Amino acid sequence: MTHSKVIDSIATEDLKNSDNGEPRVCANTSSNENNLDVANEQPTINSNGFAKEPVTKMVERFRKFLPVVVDVETAGFDAKTDALLELACIPIIMDEQGKFILGEALNAHLMPFEGANLEQRALDFTGIDPNNPLRKAIAEEEKPAIRRIFKELNAVRKDNNCVKCILVGHNAHFDLSFLNAAIERTNSKNHNPFHQFSVLDTVTLSALAFGQTVLARACKAAGIDFSGAEAHSALYDTQKTAELFCHILNSYPMLTVALLEDNITIDQSGVE
């Protein structure tokens, strides 16, 4: 939950009162012409510079990184002092045609760590009551919950032959900051599948694709249903961010010649 997520909430309300005109969208391009099959043979390139053959293995698409969409709900803005209350992750995988699809969702309701700060304004915004008996019945301690989720993500990462996960988020560095703080608190560095600082941010991707930066408005532009009433649940926001990420990557072209050259250079240099 960030200042920009507060703006998301306001913008969601604006959408309810806006006209029902067609959203602004960019022209779609078939994913079969967008991607590069990084194989031993030189790919066939279209006249516009895009490869005809799609990438069908995740390990060949993001330099051996597995994208995992993450959202957190918190009791404030300071990752070191404020409680992490919800964590949700959805790995992004590929189907046989090279289309990006959502993997299995993983989530946890978390007990505030000992001594955690709880900002009432933040709790009012998210609607989370840490003392609710129903929530307490399902809430987990940070350490076992995080390690459970990391174990599942590492299994998916290994299944896709990737070396690390890369966090995908809407204002991703906010989510990463709380995740890294929780990793440090729970001494879970050796379990952590994520790159420590690199992220893929759907704010930037949405600005490029639709001229939008607010999650609710970007989803509308992409033709994705978005409910303001369900927003600010980590699992719901992760679901919508994952749908948006997949839509953008499945719809818009990639500079495949650059990807080919980059992979060749990386393979030869051994740079990770």
**Distance between CA 217 and CA 7 in Å, rounded?**
11
Please give the Cα distance from 174 to 265 (Å, whole number). Answer: 32
Nearest to 272 by CA among 196, 205, 201: 196
Q: Which helix (H) or strand (E) holds 207?
A: helix 202-210
Residues 6 or more apart from 113 whose CB is under 8 A from it? 83, 84, 142, 185
Per annotation, catalytic residue among 3, 191, 195, 232 = 232
> d(Cα 90, Cα 105) in Å, to the nearest integer?
5
- Distance from CA of residue 111 to its chain's centroid? 23
Decide: 206 and 212 in contact? Cβ < 8 Å.
Answer: yes
Question: Side-chain half-sphere of 214: how many Cα atoms within 13 Å?
Answer: 18
CA pair distance 58, 38, nearest whole angstrom = 11
Q: Is 232 a catalytic residue?
A: yes
Of 233, 228, 217, nearest in space to 1 by CA? 233
- Active site residue ranges: 232
